[in-house]
Structure formats: structure tokens, C-alpha cells
Structure 1
Amino acid sequence: MTNFAEIIIRNGYRVVFRTVFANMDPERAHHLAFGAIRMLPQIPLLRGAAERYGRPTAADGVTTMGIHFPSRFGLAAGFDKDAKAVIGLGLLGFGHVEVGTLTAKPQPGNDRPRLFRLIQDRALINRMGFNNSGAARAARRLERARRFPGRPVIGVNIGKSRVVAVEDAVEDYLDSTRMLAPFADYLAVNVSSPNTPGLRGLQEIDQLRPLLRGVRQAAGRVPVLVKIAPDLTDDQIDAIAGLAVELELAGVIATNTTIERSGLTTSASEVEAMGAGGLSGAPVGERSLAVLRRVRRTVPTAMCVIAVGGVTTEADVEARIAAGATLVQGYTAFLYEGPTWAMRINRLRKRRLRRAAKRA
């Protein structure tokens, strides 16, 4: 996409966000935008433009876990919970799309309101609660998406069904794995969301070891990664990273949302009124980067580490790569930056790589 067209679309989105979306319930605004992205592959003119201008630059590609990623930058889990818009998101420039979190059993999630904007902080608080239509239905959608030429790499994020007791979590995760692994390029095991009771307790090594071992065996040749919270202690991070190495997982995703509320510009009373949930966006960036660095020091160089948390600009992507990330994901900034966000990051990374090649 030309700089001029990108600027027009970006500024237009800012106006729409400020005058429409910012005054609308965040979840309703998400569904409106999501519907448009979902329709993108079905509109020939828009699809053609997106295929021409949104495709990631090959120069920024990387091969990891035995998979070629056309770009290091992708979309984190949480935006496309039900694997309904994978192709449209790929057309917008994301080199990979991680869908979910999906659970073995369909579930409505927590009561509304459950999604809140902190506009001054470029952040979100969510307590969605893994709302999704279940692994079986998502598997059928993924099977169709995989047949689309030029599709992005597809990651599938799995979590515990709310109705399943923590002591029965392993079998629940295995049910999801068996249904979804055949249609995933990689699987991400989510044990770090703060919005499902008891879930974060699965990060304790004695509970995590049998879970990850079982998922890895059930997944067969599909790479398995574990997604961790930014609220872990350094010792816990080291232990989980070490476990990932011990079990020969494909990698670690650092990090999920945080339950911390420190350092926010939004008033404490507003934040308190929003209630419980995971904070994402710019405020989590510093801690997520610190966790990334700690994980990278523990795991082998060849192991995939995916950085997510507080990523907005191309400079943020570069900072994560410099800190040892194999791949980088974003999500919250997508809501604030608009549909050309991934394209812009790809374009700026292409420019950076060209300058580096000239200097070499």
C-alpha cells in the first residue's frame, strides 16, 4: 500500500474510532470491526488490494519450528476467538494468526460488560472468560481456512473449559488437542489467563509437567508452545522455561495479560470500577520484555520464543527481536491503530532491512 493511501485510511480510522467506536461498548465495536475483516476475502476489489499491498515482505521471514513464517509479526490470540476471520486477518498483513483461546466445550464466557478501554494508556482490560463455540466447530473452520492459497500461518491457542475441574484439566486439554492439532500449524497451551478460575495454578510445575507432556504427545508432529503470565516470579519463569526444554516443547510465548494495575494514566477510580481482568497494551510492555529476556537466557538459541505484550510500533517489534524473540505478536494496538497496522509495520521493517543490507 502506498504511503498516501495508508495515511488516508489510518487517519480515517482515527476519526471513526474517536467519534464512533470510543463512544460504543468495546465488545460491540469489536464485533462490528471483526465482521468487516471477516468479509474482506469475499469482496474481490478489497481482497485484490489487500493481496497486493498487505502481503508481508519476504525479507522479514523466518523459519522456526519447521514452519516458514512470511513475516516475524503476527496477531496474538484473543482477537479471533473462534477462527472465523483467519484469511481476512492474513490479508491485512499478519504473517501468522493465533486463534482462540479455544476450549473443548463451547462456553459463553463471563457476564458482560467484560471488555474495557483505557484510551489514555492505549490499553484494555478484559475478563472475557474464553468465550467460544468449542473446539469441534473451530476445527471445521480451520480445515476450510487451510485450503485458502496464501493463507497465514495458523496458531491455535487452547485453554481449560470452565465447567471442568482443575484436577481434570489434562484430559480436557487433550480433547482440544485431538480435535484441533490436525488443522494447526502450531498449538499454544494457555495456562496463564487470569479470567478462568484456577487456570493460573496450572503454571505450577507439578501440575504443568503432566499437562504439557500429554499435549505434546497428543499433538504428534504439530509444534507445542506454552504461554506464560507476566506476573510470575523470576524463579517461576526459569522453572517453566526449563520445563519447556526438558519436555522438548517447540517454544514459549511471553506473555499473557497482567493483573497488575500500577503506572496507569487512567484514574484509579475508573480502573477500580472496571473490575477484575487481564490488562493488555502499552502498560505491560516493559514487564513482558523483561520476561522475554529471562526466557531467552534459559532456553536454547534454536528454540522459538514468541514475544507479545505492549507492541505498537515497528521499533517495538525490533526491540523484541533484539532481545531474542523469534516471532512477535500484537493485539491491543490493533484496536487503536486500525486496519493498516500490520501493513505499516511490515513496510517499516522492509525499509529497516534494506538500510541494514546497504550498510553490510
Structure 2
Amino acid sequence: MPLELASRLDKIGRDELPRLLRDMPKCELHIHIEGSLEPELIFALAQRNGVALAYPSVEALRDAYAFTDLQSFLDIYYAGASVLLKEEDFFDMAMAYFRKAAADNVVHAELFFDPQTHTDRGVPFKTVIDGLTRASETAQRELGLSSALILCFLRHLSEEAALATLEEALPYRDQFIGVGLDSSERGHPPEKFARVFARCRELGLHLVAHAGEEGPAEYIETALDLLKVERIDHGVRCVEKPALVERLAAEQVPLTVCPLSNIKLCVFSSMDQHNIGALLEAGLKVTVNSDDPAYFGGYMNENFDAVFNGLPQLGPRHAYQLALNSIEASFASDEAKSAWVEKLDRVFADAG
């Protein structure tokens, strides 16, 4: 950070925050593309593909979004994904997300996708990844938004199923940059997937994993030590172990925190109870992300607004740090990161 900018950050008034949060470039590192499937598009795709839904209307489906925990959300999530059958469906879903992300000044997005959710329904892996890849290329060309795909294994299924999915994906190795671990965390510790992550490490793939959302802090440690992940998705329960917080700060392990998701799934009762501010103050490389925005009530800028409205102790310096963290924690090229940081610096230099 330029010295002049560093000295200015604390002088920028909070009244500037709405504009700064809107205009600052940011990277989204925790977005499940299937979780961006809005009810309106679910119904449109259901009609296009002749799929019968359990809900009579868009409004009835939205009314079902009263989740009490991760599993109650996943039940609806998988039902929504049932309308995705053709390459064009995956393209349309991803492009709808990219347009919203670009409007929020997201400059780079690393999309999680769950092939097992689709291949187990008979949808070919090629259909899934080709639709998403074509959308990524279109978003770069038409919106100037760069992106990458991260293949996620469903942790409620077996490691054998994950290994089979990896083998099925290898012919398309150039279309995804890494692997992750998502779905139900409780009862499915990271060590369950030690072999498949070791194989992915041999293949030179980036490694990330959900840990410390509903699962305990120990899952974060296991994901780091056994799976050798580079980023922790969620990670908010790290505070249960002070030594882990110190480690995460010292090693600058990125945490891809999803504030509105955490409230919707009752990880925290309200935003003023969220620990993202405390994690920032402890020196952790925290980022803000939307997780499953169609289900949790907000895309990137809505998550930023919710955090800064709910935690008034946070100001422009924290906003800058969160955006910078997202850029630094991305798997983008150093050249691209430098350009985004320069743009970020300009946005804050022009404030006040």
C-alpha cells in the first residue's frame, strides 16, 4: 500500500463507505454456482426442460427458504439443481451470476461447481463443464470479468465416489484450476478425503476445503495439515482455539467468509454478533463472499453492506483490507493482481 494512501485511510469518513464498497474492485472466492440459481430461472429452466417442481410458484419456492441449518438448505439446493440438464442451462445459470457480479465490481470470480450433483442424475460431466467454461469465456469477453472453475467433492458421499469423479474430470483438466470440499460438514471430517486430495496435489491442482462453519475448529487444522489446502472456506469457528487463530494470522491462510450465509444458516444469530471484524483485527486474511446468493439473500455488495451496517466499528480501512485480501488470496496471475490493486488504490485515493 502506498504510504500516502495508508495515512489517508483513517481520514476517510464513514459516509464514504457506501460508494467505496460499491466501487472497489473485489474478487469472489467462495461462490457455489448452483447456489446462484434464482427461483425465476429455476422455473424458466423447469419449463424449458419439462421438469416438474414441488412448488407451484416462484413465491412458494422463495417462501421455502427458511433454513434452520446447513442440511435444511441443502435439501432445497439439490431440488433446485434438478432443472439443470443441458449445456445451455449451465451457461445461462453462470451468465446470470456473472452479470450480477460485474455490476458489483467483482473483477475475478473462482466458481465452485458440484459435478456429482449432476452426474448422479445422469447429466454428463462434459455437459456441466462445457456450459460453465463457455460462460466464463463469454464473461471475460463481454463483461471484462475473469474467472476460474474449482471442482468440489460432496463430502456426504464416499471418497471412492470423489476419486471416480476426479478420474472422470481429468480429460477436462485444462478447464478447472483446483478442487474443493463442500456439502454437509457435520460427521464428514476432512481426513475422509485424504487420498483424493493427495492425488489432486500430485496433479498440481489448487486445494481448498470448507471447514469450521458447522464443523469444529479441529476440521480447519485437519484440512491444513492433512489435506494441505491453500485456503479455508468459512473458517469462522477458528476462534474456538486461540492457538489456531494465531497460526492462521502468522501463516496468512485466507478465510473465505460468507456473512449473509452465516446468518441465514444460524451460524450467528445476527450480523452484529458476527466475528469477521474480530478476525480482521486479529490479522487474519479474511475475505467477503456470497456463498449461495440466490438462497441467502445477497450477492457481493449486499454482503459488504450487511457487514458494515451490522458492525459500525468497521470503517474504510477495513473495507480496503477486505478487498485487498480477496485479490491477494485469489489464484489469479500476479500481473492481474497488480492491476486490480492499482485500481483499488485509486478508488480509495479519490475518496474524501
Structure of greater relative contact order (alpha carbons < 8 Å, 6+ residues apart):
2
**Structure with the bigger percentage of helix:** 2
Tell me the TM-score normalised to structure 2 length.
Answer: 0.49
Tell me the TM-score normalised to structure 1 length.
Answer: 0.48
